[in-house]
Amino acid sequence: MRFHFKTDYDQDIRLFEDGWTFSLYAALLVLALALPLMIDPFFLGEATNVLIWAIAGLGLMLLTGQTGQVSLGHSAFMALGCYSCVLMMEANVPFVLAFLLAGVITGVVGALIAIPALKLHGVYLAIATLALAILADDIIVLLKEWTDGVNGKMSPPIDLFGYEISRWNNPIEWYYLTLAVVLMVTLFYRNLLRAPLGRAFAAVRDSEISAQAMGVNVAQTKTIAFGISCAITGLGGALMGLFAGAFNNETFNFLLSIQLLMMIVVGGLGFIHGAFLGAVVIAFLPQVLSMTTDLFGRGVAIPGLESGVFGVILILFILFEPMGLYGRWLKIRVFLELFPFARKDMFKRQKSYLKTERLR
């Protein structure tokens, strides 16, 4: 166990609590940078896919994990990010600008939608946003002049400062592009958490009434959270569409929202690490499933197997490990650090004292 003798407030403010943690994450970054040298293009494509899921998941994590607002409408914002990015690229807007603007547009639209929706709490908010996700599907079909409806669009190749990146010819460049976006989003996310806005998010999540009594504008904070969350998810959606090569209204149907939500729950709600661990599960589970069915079923496809297994995993996590994979890792780490003094009931949830809900 490491002991921290703190002599400076900056030790609590900076990104890494000590040199050891810093070197761990530096090693992880080096590993991520060296990954293309170690694995073949197919698996590199899978790694890119994991990172894209992680970006979209970080978006929803900010809203659900940090601010406590459940959204099942994030597939709509992925679609918005994707279509706006591709349409701008087709209008010859440089990729970097189109990509970032797609995030901004999605964020602004998300914030505008949030203003009426955030009067709702809990499951009602989930239902309202689910309606949004289902609606998005139809809107894409209706706007076929721009979106080409059910026929879908081909993703144009990415032109990064005159250097063309296509999914099939330049998997390594694609990977680095995605990694760069991941690093940017994670850094912004982490910076928010150590600033007043991030604490306001947590305040709104845990007790709206006392957040107000401390001067937090609850409606505004929720709107900002929705906006930032949608912006990040929109970036993830843009990358997902571009990476897929072709996309239509089906690519971003409401099941994607449910997968996103499941991903952050399985990964660990409220942890940045959770979004990444969940992304690994979501991205590799279909692969693992198809390998197992190949092995045992002699290649016979079982309809609905994937969503069934996803559902079972989600239920098992909610029942047995509500803190997700990252929460489980934290428990293991504490057990090892305190060995042999860790007690079995250390993480037992203490029943909370009476809360004032009647003021809602």
Partner 1 sequence: MSLLELDSVTLKFGGLTAVNNLSMSVEEGQVFALVGPNGAGKSTVFNLISRFYTPVTGSITFDGQDVLKMAPHEVPNLGIARTFQNIELFHQATVLQNLLVGRHRHRQTNMIAQMLHLPSVRAEERAHRHAVEEVIDFLDLQPYRNSRIAGLPYGVRKVVELGRALASKPRMLLLDEPASGLSVEETQNMRWWIDDIRRHMGITVLMVEHDMGLVGKVCDRVLALADGAKLAEGTPAEVQSHPKVIEAYLGTNAVSKGGKVA
Q: What does the binding site for partner 1 look like in residue numbers (CB under 8 A)?
A: 9-10, 12-13, 188, 191-192, 194-200, 202-203, 205-207, 209-218, 224, 270, 349-350, 352-356, 359
Distance CA(12)–CA(18), nearest Å, equals 10
Degrees to nearest 5, angle at CA 53 with 15 and 40:
95
Q: Which is nearer to partner 1, 14 or 144 (CB)?
A: 14
Distance CA(185)–CA(232), nearest Å, equals 7
Smallest gap from Cβ 25 to partner 1, in A, equals 16
Q: Which is nearer to partner 1, 298 or 349 (CB)?
A: 349
Smallest gap from Cβ 210 to partner 1, in A, equals 4
Smallest gap from Cβ 131 to partner 1, in A, equals 29
Block residue for tokens 């990040």? 232
Terminal alpha carbon distance of the chain: 43
Smallest gap from Cβ 15 to partner 1, in A, equals 9
Q: Which two tokens stand for residue 74?
A: 């994030």
Q: Which is nearer to partner 1, 110 or 198 (CB)?
A: 198
Q: Which two tokens stand for residue 224?
A: 């900002």
Distance of CA 56 to the CA centre of its chain: 4
Q: Are 148 and 83 in contact (CB under 8 A)?
A: no
Smallest gap from Cβ 257 to partner 1, in A, equals 24
Q: Which is nearer to partner 1, 182 or 280 (CB)?
A: 182
Q: Which is nearer to partner 1, 128 or 265 (CB)?
A: 265
Distance of CA 46 to the CA centre of its chain: 17
CB-based burial, 114-142: b 16+ in 10 Å, e otherwise: beebbeeeeeebbebbbebbeebbeebee
Q: Which is nearer to partner 1, 209 or 255 (CB)?
A: 209
Smallest gap from Cβ 96 to partner 1, in A, equals 18
Distance CA(41)–CA(27), nearest Å, equals 22
Smallest gap from Cβ 64 to partner 1, in A, equals 13
**Closest by alpha carbon to 206, among 326, 66, 111, 321?**
66
Q: Which is nearer to partner 1, 198 or 241 (CB)?
A: 198
